[in-house]
Amino acid sequence: MLIQCTKKLLDELKIKPDSVKYEKPLFCWHANLIMINRRKTVVLMNDSNLYRIVLHGLKAKDFKSLDLLIVKAICNTLMDECITADIVGQFINGSPTVIYAKTKDKATVARLNKACDDVHFFGRQIETSTIIQSHVSRLASNSLAGIGANEYIRPNEALYKDLETFSGKKIFSCQAVELKVTLDLRNYNVWRKVIVPYNITFKELHNVLQVVFDWRDYHLHDYYLFDGERPIVNLVCSDDAFEYPGDAPMIEEKNIKLSEYIPKYSRIKYCYDFGDNWEHYITVEGMLEDYKHNYPVCIAGEGNTPPEDVGGESGYDEFIEAISDPKHPEHIAMLNWSKIQLYEDFSIDSVNRRLKSVLRWL
């Protein structure tokens, strides 16, 4: 594996680069050293597909074993993409020895600089407790990258194609869980069934639920997980929530994977927008052992989601009354407001188009 380093990174490594040796672009990476949040960060970019790998918070001792960290980061990130372990192993074994060299040319360095800019953009998503930044790597690799005059790719999609060509077989397989999520409304039947990879976090599940229910992520949210009628944990979305303790122990959601609580606790309440108080009840419908995607899929659903900031269920009742009756004094105003709010009928096709990239969204 050829790691072509900028002068800044070579100086940090305190090594003399090897002479450039020919290697297939899939096994070549360009690498730079940058500072994010005053911590040393290495950004790698694959020469073939521009996929990005991020290592953050590196100290002097870490640079002494950077080759091992690079291999581990590639493995962890690709596994988090739901790429099968045998494909990841085949890829690593295709060029197992790490060799450090100088950067190749100005065009590639320019693309590397763009990759570093993308990583900077997602800096607030960096998890300070770990060096390997799988989530940020996947976010940055979903950003458009230029490959020529008015030509762009998404590095993650280009990587998938490269690995399929390299291995000669399908690259995705993972455990998944089927969930039924019902919005708790007295007068309306609104629910969705969705299959999600089992290795995602509750933060990522929040992103999925925002899409399948057509929410806009304007407000705070949390989860309660139940053992019978008793909540055993409250997963919260920010540190501010800890100022308002409730009946169950609080944990921040972003690093908690579904696999830590599901299917043991198969009844979950997801609350979005504490003002309008939209409560969703989640039940586990089943487990899939060989899921062939690395993104969620909505398989069924019914009913429209209320618009954001409509004023809870009573406000939604008034909204429906106004838009349904042309003679209502608020009819035109509410129709116009509904367009601003992007209120629309549930469409499973539209939902699934957006779900293909939701796990790499902010």
Place of tokens 């690093």: 255
Contacts of 77 (CB under 8 A, 6+ apart): 53, 132, 134, 137, 138
Are residues 296 and 355 in contact, defined by beta-carbon separation less than 8 angstroms? yes
User: In this structure, is residue 82 part of a structural domain?
Assistant: yes
Residue whose C-alpha is closest to residue 26's, from 94, 83, 81, 87: 94
> Is residue 361 scored above 60 in pLDDT?
no
pLDDT at 275: 96
What pLDDT was estimated at residue 23? 82
Contacts of 317-322 with CB under 8 Å at 24 or more apart are: 317/187
- Say how far apart CA 181 and CA 283 lie, in whole Å: 7
Cα gap 351→7, rounded to integer Å: 46
pLDDT > 70 fraction of the chain, expressed in percent and rounded: 99
pLDDT over 80 at 321, yes or no: yes
pLDDT at 266: 79
pLDDT in tens, 15-58: 999 887 678 999 999 999 999 999 999 999 999 999 999 999 99
Q: What percentage of the chain reaches a pLDDT higher than 90?
A: 90
46 and 180 part of one domain? no
Which of 128, 148, 167 delimits the end of a domain?
Answer: 167
Q: Is residue 327 part of a domain?
A: no
How far is the C-alpha of 40 from the C-alpha of 45, rounded, in Å?
17
User: Mean pLDDT over all residues of the chain?
Assistant: 95
Residues 15 and 116 both lie in one domain: yes
Judged by phi (left if over 0) then psi (alpha if -120 to 50, else beta), residue 80 lies in alpha
| Nearest C-alpha neighbor of 306 from the set 267, 338, 263, 269 | 338
- pLDDT tens track for 87-112: 999 999 999 999 999 999 999 999 99
Residues 250 and 162 in one domain: no
- Both tokens of 264, joined, read 């043991």
Residue 362 clears pLDDT 80, i.e. is over it: no
187 and 118 in a common domain: no
pLDDT at res. 148: 86
- The total domain count for the chain is 2
Retrieve residue 89's tokens: 């192993």
Task: Compute the CA torsion angle 321, 323, 325, 330 (nearest 10 deg).
Answer: 90
Say yes or no: 77 and 178 in one domain. no
Q: Which residue is associated with the tokens 């380093």?
A: 5
- Give me the phi and psi of 327, to 5 degrees please: -90, -5
268, 289: one domain: yes
CATH of the domain at 84: 3.30.420
Q: Are residues 256 and 212 in the same domain?
A: yes
Residue 281, strand partner residues: 182, 269
Query: What is residue 358's predicted lDDT score, i.e. its pLDDT?
Result: 82
Residue 306 CB partners (closer than 8 Å, separation 6+): 185, 276, 278, 313, 315, 316, 319
| Number of Cβ atoms within 10 Å of the Cβ of 152 | 10
Helices and strands: H and E segment counts in the chain: 11, 15
Question: Does residue 202 contact residue 256 with C-beta atoms inside 8 Å?
Answer: yes
Residue 280 lies in domain: 174-305+346-360
In this structure, are strands 2-5 and 28-36 parallel, antiparallel, or unpaired?
parallel
Q: Where are the beta strands (DSSP E) in the chain?
A: 2-5, 28-36, 39-46, 52-56, 99-102, 145-148, 151-153, 174-183, 190-197, 221-227, 230-236, 250-252, 267-272, 278-291, 297-302
In this prediction, residue 360 has a pLDDT band, given cuts at 50, 70 and 90, of low
250: domain CATH number? Answer: 3.10.290.30
Work out the burial of residue 31: count CB atoms within 10 Å of its CB; fewer than 13 is exposed, 13-18 middle, 19 or more buried. Answer: buried
For residues 162 and 178, state if they share a domain.
no
Angle at 345 between CA 185 and CA 266, to 5 degrees: 45
Give CA–CA dist 167/55, Å, rounded.
Answer: 26
**Among 167, 195, 210, where does a domain finish?**
167
Neighbours of 249 (CB within 10 A): 11
pLDDT of residue 254 exceeding 90? no
Domain boundary among 143, 167, 191: 167
